[in-house]
Amino acid sequence: MTLRADLRLIAGWIAPGSQVLDLGCGDGALLAHLRDTRRCRGYGVELADSHVLECVRRGVNVVQANLDAGLRLFPDDKFDTVVLSQTLQAVHRVEAVLQEMARVARQGIVSFPNFGHWRHAASLLAGRMPVTKTIPYQWYDTPNIHLCTPKDFEILAAKLGLAITGRALLADDEPVRVLPALRATLAVYRFDTR
Amino acid sequence: MTAPASVGTVAPKSLHFREPLPLASGATIADYSLMVETYGELNAARSNAVLVCHALNASHHVAGVYQDAPKNVGWWDNMVGPGKPVDTRRFFVVGVNNLGSCFGSTGPMSTDPATGRPYGARFPVVTVEDWVDAQARLADALGIERFAAVMGGSLGGMQALSWAIRHPARIGHCVAIATTPKLSAQNIAFNDVARSAIQSDPDFHGGDYYAHGVKPRRGLRVARMIGHITYLSGDDMAEKFGRALRGKADDADYAFGYGVEFEVESYLRYQGEKFSEYFDANTYLLITRALDYFDPAKSCGGDLARALAPARARFLLASFSTDWRFSPARSREIVTALIRNDRDVTYAEIDAPHGHDAFLLDDPRYHRALAAYFDTIATEVGQ
């Protein structure tokens, strides 16, 4: 089974043998991949019944909870790496979630859609909220309540004392080298939490 | 995949144990019998056995029906059978009636060999741990060194947890559903009201009612009514009964008396009546006390993670959103303790309207999760 591009990149940032917490772990693909190829173990947190079921089928440890309740289950400094992929933009309390991630792990990895993509800007200039492949929702039914740009995230990370150690800006699953802040659809960050 | 089916006609058997069983209380049971049912085949490697532990009012009759009682369907028949979550084509499933219960295993109704009369009040108080130790001897007798899984809901889940702690090498997976690491003050209070109802029944005779040829039915009935309220959710009761009046239109006049008028009263009394026909009052006292006493963290300074430290099993826990008897928060306490110990754990929190009783009901999300989990166990043990 092929792993989603951003998950493949994230997996490459996780040291073999690590203890990993995957928040919003979906169908457990990342955790299963890390277990099978990098001898990692850990837990996923996931709310959707269908995803929890997939995790069970893959034999991945999964805890069915929302992020707030889920994070409370884990003790301080439990993990080497905590992952939050394509979920940050949908959480209510972004700062609290990042602080909780810092509490439970030495290293954090987050990915989120880049709201600074030129198509979004163009859409706004044309007077409409953007609806694109990466943000495919109308303004009134979107779960994405905290959209940001890479620069926005870097400012928040600095405010919270998270030291960024890796950054990848992707479009169509490939790194973007020219004008990434405008052309990338997805941003992936790695940071040390202390 | 064939459609789920029943295990069909089953026959219980009684196993006798001669070696005295030391109990948590310090007392000993000299010898005892346990009623057992099994379904499916034990494989050559003896690796596919699943022990099903019962809760308060159930028994060894987990699945199937009896030849002479085709309507007496096992209490977890929707969970255990061919094509069901615990698939008896792949697993050898063992149901056992616990010590002190009233379905044929040695209990307060049995004859005390020391006196030749029923034990009654003299039957020793037994604990979840005592049950688990008795079940371990049953496993020895059946030639099962290690269970692929030990599973149960509610009080049955406590037994599964206790197995993981007391016999870590003998259990591959611990499946504990709608359970708790210990009763709350509120849980104990409900049990106390139930026991008080029984003990204050004039027919109780201090627990030795057998000699008087009576049963404390009124007390038992009230005990069951109280218990039953805690098994259902408020929403479930509102939906099932609301304020409907028995045999009358909702806007009919009240009778201005104290008889059964509301549907919910009628339902609870019926449940109480039915229960008092077949259940033993001393067993009710004994089992509710075993519930009260269960607290594996007690001997570890209240530290549940330390209590669970010996466990080596992988865990599946499930809870139900509207269960207020053993709420999801109680299952999460267990999950937290297991994570602290780096144990493998899967936790499903199922959004279901039926309160504590949901663990016995046929909810597709719940059953799909259990089926998927047992499928991985079956693969693991080569079935």
Per the CB < 8 A criterion, the answer to whether B51 and B96 are in contact is yes
Given the residues B162, B295, B356, B363, the one annotated as active site: B356
The answer to whether B317 and B331 are in contact (CB under 8 A) is yes
Question: Which residues does chain B have within 8 Å of residue A43's beta carbon, measured at their own beta carbons?
Answer: 339, 345
CA distances from A44 to A41, B308, B373 (A): 10, 21, 16
Q: At A6, is the pLDDT very low, low, confident or very high (cuts 50, 70, 90)?
A: confident
A54: exposed, middle or buried (Cβ count in 10 Å: 0-12, 13-18, 19+): buried
Q: pTM for this structure?
A: 0.96
A65 and B CB contact within 8 Å: yes
Active site residue B16: no
Give yes or no: B356 in active site: yes
**Measured CA distances, B254 to B147, B249, B260, B267 (Å):** 57, 11, 11, 18
First to last CA, chain A: 35
Query: Using DSSP, how many helices (H) and how many strands (E) does chain A show?
Result: 8, 8
Spatial distance between the Cα atoms of B317 and B167, rounded to a whole number of angstroms: 19
Q: Could you read off the pLDDT of B164-209 as tens digits, one per residue? A: 999 999 999 999 999 999 999 999 999 999 999 999 999 999 999 9
B323 is catalytic: yes
- Half-sphere exposure for A78 (CA within 13 Å, toward CB): 24
Contact status, residue A93 vs residue A13, Cβ threshold 8 Å: no
Q: In terms of DSSP bridges, do strands A19-23 and A41-46 run parallel, antiparallel, or are they unpaired?
A: parallel
Of the candidates B154, B233, B327, B331, the residue annotated as catalytic is: B154
Distance from CA of B47 to the nearest CA of A (A): 19
Whether residue B2 has pLDDT greater than 80: no
Q: Contact A73/B372, CB-based, under 8 Å?
A: no
What backbone phi and psi angles, to 5 degrees, belong to B350? Answer: -95, 125
Between CA B34 and CA B106 the distance in angstroms is 7
Identify from A52, A62, A77, A82 which residue to disrupt to test chain B contact, counting B C-beta atoms within 10 A and taking the largest count. A52
In tens, the pLDDT along A146-175 reads 999 999 999 999 999 999 999 999 998 899
H helices of A76-130, where?
94-104, 118-125
Q: Is the pLDDT of residue B62 over 80?
A: yes
- Structure tokens given for B312: 């080596």
Q: What is the pLDDT of residues A79-89, one digit of tens each?
A: 999 999 999 99
ipTM of the complex: 0.93
Query: Is pLDDT of B66 > 60?
Result: yes
In chain B, what is the straight-line distance between the N-terminal and C-terminal CA atoms, in Å?
Answer: 15
Using 50, 70 and 90 to split pLDDT, how confident is the model at A68? confident
* 8 A C-beta contact, residue A45 and residue A60: no
Mean pLDDT, rounded, for B236-261? 94
Residue of A nearest to B339 (CA): A74
Residue B203 and residue B217: Cα distance in Å, rounded?
A: 8
